[in-house]
Structure 1
Amino acid sequence: MTIRCEVSGDTAALVATVSGRLRLTDATTLRDHLLKCLAEQPDALLVDLSGLHLDQPLALSIFTVVLRQAARWPGVPVVFCAPPPETRRHLTGPCRRLVVFDSRAAARAHLHDERRVMPSLREDLLPVSGSVRHARDLATDACLRWDLPGLVAPASLIANELVANVIDHAHTMMTLRMSVRQRHLSIAVQDGSAAPPVAAATGPEHLRGRGLLLVNELANTWGHLPSNGGKVVWATLDLPRSS
C-alpha cells in the first residue's frame, strides 16, 4: 500500500492526515479510512492533504464519495486543506470543485465560524433485553427535550429496532447516539461486530416484529458504515419545517 491515513483529534473535530502516492488501487482503502472517521460522528472532519501526491488523478473521486456519505449521514462538514499545487488543481477543477483551504489553520477557522452547537446524547448499552426499553426511553426523552414531539414515535421505534438487532445478532456492547443536525435527527447504534446488519424475520413467531424493515419504513434514509472494531447502523428522520 502506498497511501497512509493517520487520524487524530476527538469527536469535536477529527483530523485525517493523508500522505503517500495515491493510486486507483489505494482508493478503496482510503475511502474506508475516511468512512470510519465519519462513523465516529465527529462535529467535523478535516482532511489534511499536505503529504498527498497523485499518481492517478481519477482516484480523487473517492473524496466525492465521502462527501456524499457525510451529507446523507452524519450530516457533518468535511473540509480539505493544504494539498500540493497539482493535487489542488485536480480537486478544484471543473470535475470536482471541492472547497479546499490553503492551510490547516484556515480550515479550522472556517469550521469555527460555521460551527453550531447541536444537541446530542450518547449512551453505552449492554446486549441485554432491558436495553431495548432503555433505548426507547432515551429517544423519547431526547425528542421532548429538543422540542421534537412529532418525532417521538418514529425515533423511539428506530432506536428500539437498532438496539434489538445488536442484541439478537451482534451480541456485543453498543453505543446509542442521537443528535440534531441542520436538517435531520440522527439515530445511530455502534457495536463490536463487523458483520452487516441483519433484518429480523417477520411472522407471529418473531416477537421483535419487523426489525430493520420497520426502520426502512420509518426513516428518511438509513444505512451502515464500518467503524473501528465493528460497525455503526444509522438512520435519519427529517426535522419538521419551521412555520
Structure 2
Amino acid sequence: MAIAYQARGDDAGLIGSISGSLGLVDVTTLHTNLLKSLAEQPSALLLDLSEMYVTDPLALAVFSAAARQAARWPGTPVLLFGPPTPTRELLSGHAYRRLSVLDSLDAARARLVADPEAGRATVSDDLLPVSGAARHARDLATDACLRWDLPQLAGPATLIANELVSNVVDHAHTMMTLRLSLRPRYLTIAVRDGSATEVRPPGHVPIDARRGRGLLLVDATAHAWGCVPSADGKVVWASLRR
C-alpha cells in the first residue's frame, strides 16, 4: 500500500495522519507534504503513525529532516505519536534521539501543555502585488520590532521584508501574506505567495543583473533563510537572531 498523508486541524495544532508502507521511494512525496503542513505555520504538528509501517528503516530520516526545518522555521514543535511497536523500536535508535515520540494523541497534547513554547508572538497582513506593498511591509516590520522592544532588529527586518515582498511583486504577481513571528531565539519574517516557482539561490543571479539581486541582501543579512512549498504556492522565510 502506497504511503498516504492527510492533515486536519486540531485544538493542539495540525494533525497529520500517515498510513501505508513507508519506503525510500515515498520519502520525497512525504517530505513535501510535511513541508506544506509546516507552511501553514501551525502551533504544533502532530504526526499520527499508528497506520504507518516501515519497509526501509532509512526512510524514517524524513521525520528528522522535517523536524530540522520546523526548528529553523516556523519554530513549530513536531511530535510523532502512536507508532506500531516495530516502528517505535526503530525510532528509539540514536539517529532519531532528537525526535519526540509519544504513545498517543493525548500524550502528545499533554506534552505540549507541559512544555508550551515561550515568548511567541505574531503579526501578519495580506498584501496586493502592487508597488506600495514593499513600503507597507517595511512599516509593518518596523512596528513589530518596536512593539516587541527589538529596535536593533528594525533595520534588518525591514530590509528583509522589503526584499521578500518586492520579489513577489516583481516575479510571482500574486496575493501574498507577510508574517513576522517572535520566537525565544529568533525573529522570523516570512512571505507566502501563490506561485509554486521556487526562488533562485543568490549565486544563480548574474553579477550584472539590474534586478533580482534582493536575495543577496537577504542572504547577507539573515541568520538563515529558505523556501518551502505550501498548499497553493510557496513560503520564503528568513530569521534574525534576537
TM class by shorter chain equals: over 0.9
TM-score, structure 1 normalization: 0.92
The sequence identity of aligned pairs, in percent, is: 57
Q: 1:209 to 1:192 in 2, by over 3 A?
A: closer
1:169 Cα deviation after fit: 0.4
What CA distance in whole angstroms lies between the structure 1 residues aligned with 2:105 and 2:184?
A: 24
Question: Which ranges in structure 1 are unaligned for 5 or more consecutive residues?
Answer: none
What CA distance in whole angstroms lies between the structure 2 residues aligned with 1:227 and 1:33?
A: 9
1:12 Cα deviation after fit: 6.2
The answer for the alignment partner of 1:195 in structure 2 is 197
Aligned length: 237
The answer for the alignment partner of 1:213 in structure 2 is 216
Give yes or no for contact 1:11–1:41 (8 Å, CA) kept in 2.
no
What CA distance in whole angstroms lies between the structure 2 residues aligned with 1:54 and 1:189?
A: 35
What CA distance in whole angstroms lies between the structure 2 residues aligned with 1:42 and 1:56?
A: 29
Q: Which amino acid aligns with 1:232?
A: V
Q: Which amino acid aligns with 2:218?
A: V
Q: 1:4 to 1:176 in 2, by over 3 A?
A: same
The answer for the alignment partner of 2:100 in structure 1 is 99
Specify the SS of the correspondent of 2:174: coil
1:40 Cα deviation after fit: 1.3
Specify the SS of the correspondent of 1:14: strand
The answer for the alignment partner of 1:146 in structure 2 is 148
1:58 Cα deviation after fit: 1.3
Q: Are 1:233 and 2:230 an aligned pair?
A: no
**Cα displacement string for residues 117-147 of structure 1 (whole angstroms, at most 9, x for unaligned residues):** 6110111100001111000000000000011
Give yes or no for contact 2:119–2:184 (8 Å, CA) kept in 1.
no
1:113 Cα deviation after fit: 1.9
Give yes or no for contact 1:202–1:209 (8 Å, CA) kept in 2.
no
Q: Which amino acid aligns with 1:154?
A: P
Q: More displaced, 178-187 or 115-124?
A: 115-124
The answer for the alignment partner of 2:182 in structure 1 is 180
Specify the SS of the correspondent of 1:52: strand
TM-score, structure 2 normalization: 0.93
The answer for the alignment partner of 1:86 in structure 2 is 86
Moved segments of 4+, more than 4 Å: 198-203
Q: Output the aligned Cα RMSD.
A: 1.8
Specify the SS of the correspondent of 2:95: coil
What CA distance in whole angstroms lies between the structure 1 residues aligned with 2:169 and 2:108?
A: 41
Specify the SS of the correspondent of 1:95: helix
Specify the SS of the correspondent of 1:31: helix
1:65 Cα deviation after fit: 0.7
What CA distance in whole angstroms lies between the structure 2 residues aligned with 1:189 and 1:11?
A: 25
Question: Which ranges in structure 2 are unaligned for 5 or more consecutive residues?
Answer: none
Q: Which amino acid aligns with 1:182?
A: P
What CA distance in whole angstroms lies between the structure 2 residues aligned with 1:112 and 1:101?
A: 14
What CA distance in whole angstroms lies between the structure 1 residues aligned with 2:28 and 2:104?
A: 26
